[in-house]
Homo-oligomer: A and B are copies of this chain.
Amino acid sequence: MRLLDERAVEDIAIGAAVLGTGGGGDPYIGKLMAIDAISEHGPIKLLSPDEVNDDDLVIPTAMMGAPTVIIEKIPRGDEALEAFRILERRFGKKAVATMSIEAGGINSTIPLAVAARLGVPVVDCDGMGRAFPEIQMVVPHLYGVKATPMIIVDEKGNLVMLDTIDNTWTERISRAATVVMGGSTVIALYTMTGKQIKEATVHGSITMAETIGRILRENKKNPIQAMLEYVKGYEIFKGKIVDVMRRTVAGFARGEARLEGIDEYSGHELLIRFQNENLVAIRDGEIVASVPDLITVLEAETGQPITTEGLRYGYRAVVVGIPCNPKWRTPKALEVVGPRYFGYDIDYIPIEERMRKR
């Protein structure tokens, strides 16, 4: 167990935007909520997964919806607490902690705010090791954990509870509810025991996000290079954003961004396609990185991550590829989050292999 203070939350927010691969929402709101909660209730306890007893319950909290909407529609603040409490009542048992269902953007920082305000710890793990757009795209799903009972609340005070036959139905119904509830909601789902946390989540992701954030903050000169060394990632491209197409459809922010190469990438072009998160990076017509590996856009000078809703014409950006957690590389996992699921008729090739070939 260690404590997270305001500085830690600042770093986690930056690191989470890197791991969020463009999605998960801008961590800014969640960060403010967490810092506000810390200043009122004191630092947040961070537990390692091993510190949770096998029989204890952990309830993840998150936001759902298109990040384009989330940044416009600020949560009231107590929705996540309500969702957490309702699931506790449903299970007839106090939960010992909350956690992030995705290590991305706002969904890394919302659980911190919940933890601070409830006075419960947050577990140093998450459901993805990155961000993904759909409910069933989490490692717990691969291990047979059900997303339901799931609570969905909005800032107006509406509440929806789901109990479904599988996680794909949970995605469909909760997405439809989120769309009519205004495009973004606060959710609690994938309640797990300590035993499940240990085997069916990605460990250490809060610490990883914090470390990424600290590296980017401390290395004024070569922040991106220093960060890539830590995450064992690769620079894919450096260029100027010349075109951004983005629509919010069916509850997702979908679109693409085009970059014209600069420096050693001069004369080349990179196209990034996204559905909340960046899905594929296509260089001069050829795929150079794809889900489930992480594709993140960073401001070239500062190394600050740019989320899909922050992509703007004229930004000078470095695009990096980071190997995903190995749990995403099994054939079963690739059925859930591989390129084909997202409509790209290609086999997944790990980024390390693609880079070795170059």
Contacts and interface: CB of A to CB of B under 8 A. Distances in A.
Interface of A: 156-165, 169, 172-173, 175-177, 179-181
Contact of A163 (B158, B172, B181): B158
Contacts of A162: 158-161
19 contacts: A156-B165, A157-B164, A157-B165, A158-B162, A158-B165, A158-B173, A159-B162, A159-B163, A159-B164, A160-B161, A160-B163, A160-B173, A161-B163, A172-B180, A173-B177, A175-B180, A176-B179, A176-B180, A177-B177
Tell me if A's interface is mostly helix, strand, loop or mixed: mixed
Contacts of A163: 158-161
Nearest to A86: B163
Q: How many copies does the complex hold?
A: 2
A96 to B, nearest CB: 26
Nearest to A172: B180
Contacts of A180: 172-173, 175-176
Contacts of A158: 162-165, 169, 173
Contacts of A161: 160-163
A111 to B, nearest CB: 23
Given A158-B165, A161-B161, A175-B180, 16 more contacts: A157-B164, A157-B165, A158-B169, A158-B173, A159-B163, A160-B161, A160-B162, A160-B163, A160-B177, A161-B162, A173-B177, A173-B180, A176-B176, A176-B177, A176-B180, A177-B177
A179 to B, nearest CB: 7
Query: Which residue, of A157, A159, A172, has the highest number of chain B Cβ atoms within 10 A?
Result: A159
